[in-house]
Chain A
């Protein structure tokens, strides 16, 4: 780990995250995935939106872009199209990706552009102090839902798949090793890849929902998840309240920047 720290993190620590926050674990999983694949650090760009998780870009030793709330994906789209041979990773939170950035999310998925999006899903707006997001479970408490949240939550993975993402996976900070493997698979996948990382926010979510102990959040992740392979053998009643983890969807489809490469070739009359 020390080697990874030296190589992939900027000397910017300590980070801004609260003690017990899961964001460091997700970020470490991304770094392990990058290391496993041996990505060229000068040909990898990390883009993030706004929020607790999106501060991760600042800690990582790559070309990094901390954008505006919800806008990480279109910024990343511009980078990828201008530099198709670069790897572009996107770090975003649940509110960032699916509320203000919801439109960008579904359209990036629709295009199947080769971006790897890691959604740090802590079910809450952490940085602004605990307001409900589109991924806050129904009836959970939030500062803007003092009587319990009546909004129905998105199933992020289904949303991504429905919009055209060609790789969708999910894991948790409790399953940190699996999370790193899934991020690696997402990066290796050519096309729009979404990895949903369930991460605990003891402060803004936990305190309002009887999960303020980091260990309790991890135990919650352990007890409420089931590997997708095992889920296939379970009856619907056994699956009730369980979240599937693993690779949830993968298919092959034309990738956007490669397709545009063909447009250029055609427009240039075969020259390049």
Chain B
């Protein structure tokens, strides 16, 4: 039976991980993500899982990947500067195709910035933070219940597409307390990585199936396979061949982009007749619900598009939106990151306006309403 409780976003994220079947956490304390680690330190051993506080952020990411290779669903959690440190090995997890989840409760940056103030300034770091070139999945919850459900979704996507998945919280959502009904375990959809059907000796650990994703044995299953961060062929061993790198790096992208229709999720509010569309995600979407309502009461045809999947981009949906709306306002807590992605996709089909804020405070409904009325007047 589902029971309603009051819970913090970070805690809902930790509970979501447990519900997804995660049994390993390794990380390093950093504000404002610490509650994820603290709750898992208590909860994981209760279900036979393992928590370890590592010596630094990089080690937290490394241990997460190591555990994931043994077949255990694993995660780490961090904030801004810690996310920067983890990038080296997030790239490793992409290259070696190790499913795992990285929770990043964003804070103001660059550098140490403002540890306890909200920001959404790691949008581009989530996409391009690691060196090299790879496909990325990143999700952004806008409520406490969504912290729970999207953490499960993050694990499902990680397992299905054999890739690290980033959960982009912001301090607003991470520290917000809301009512949540924890669904019964048997009502949840849980995805597990596909295992090889071929026996050891015949199986090639990096040979993709038709969906672009290779099955994945666990260490200890008897496959004795090799994993490396070097460019590798289907056997998993390093290869310097042009064709190998060409195919591998392309597949790290296409195994995600080819399935974008299944991966991308979003929410639309009052967009059917909207002339002005606000795009907002995470904590900023909370403001947007209110601002759109206020605008409607003033007779302005405003609506909200909330990307839940930040990466891959909801390109198809944004293109369609640009055909309908006159103006698109991109509201975000940074100097203007996601607006560039929207401009790229919209490609001049609608007017794109940036509502960016980076002074430690959230965008208020009044500020957003002012942007909407401003767009209406123009």
Contact = CB atoms under 8 A, between A and B. Distances in A.
B46 A79 contact: no
A48 to B, nearest CB: 9
Contact of B226 (A41, A64, A266): A64
Interface residues of B, number: 46
A65 B69 contact: yes
A79 B59 contact: no
A77 interface: yes
A23 to B, nearest CB: 16
A82 B226 contact: no
Nearest to B64: A78
B56 to A, nearest CB: 6
Given A78-B67, A83-B219, A104-B59, A66 B230 contact: yes
Contacts of A249: none
B46 A68 contact: no
A67 B230 CA distance: 9
B227 A65 contact: yes
B63 A42 contact: no
Contacts of B42: 267
B62 A67 contact: yes
B228 A81 contact: no
B58 A82 contact: no
A264 B228 contact: no
Interface string A32-43: 000000000111
B224 interface: yes
B66 A65 contact: yes
B54 A74 contact: yes
Interface in A211-251: none
Contacts of A41: 224
A107 B59 contact: yes
B311 interface: no
Nearest to A88: B66
B305 interface: no
A166 interface: no
Interface in B15-48: 23-24, 26, 42, 45-48
A272 B47 CA distance: 9
Interface in A78-120: 78-79, 81-83, 86, 103-104, 107
Nearest to A54: B228
Main secondary structure of the interface of B (DSSP, over half): mixed
Main secondary structure of the interface of A (DSSP, over half): helix
* Interface size range on A against B: 35 or more
Contacts of A272: 48
A82 B224 contact: no
Contacts of A67: 62, 92, 229
Interface string B56-93: 10111011111111111010000000000000110010
Contacts of B222: 42
Given A71-B58, A264-B48, A42 B66 contact: no
A260 B63 CA distance: 15
B88 A68 contact: yes
A267 B224 contact: no
Contact of A263 (B45, B55, B64): B45
A79 B69 CA distance: 7
Interface of A: 10, 12, 41-43, 45, 47, 57-58, 61-68, 71, 73-79, 81-83, 86, 103-104, 107, 260, 263-264, 266-268, 272
Interface of B: 23-24, 26, 42, 45-50, 52, 54-56, 58-60, 62-72, 74, 88-89, 92, 219-230, 237-238
28 contacts: A45-B219, A58-B226, A63-B223, A63-B224, A64-B225, A66-B228, A67-B62, A71-B59, A74-B66, A75-B65, A76-B66, A77-B54, A77-B59, A78-B62, A78-B68, A78-B69, A78-B70, A81-B24, A81-B67, A82-B24, A82-B67, A82-B70, A86-B219, A103-B56, A107-B54, A264-B49, A266-B45, A268-B45
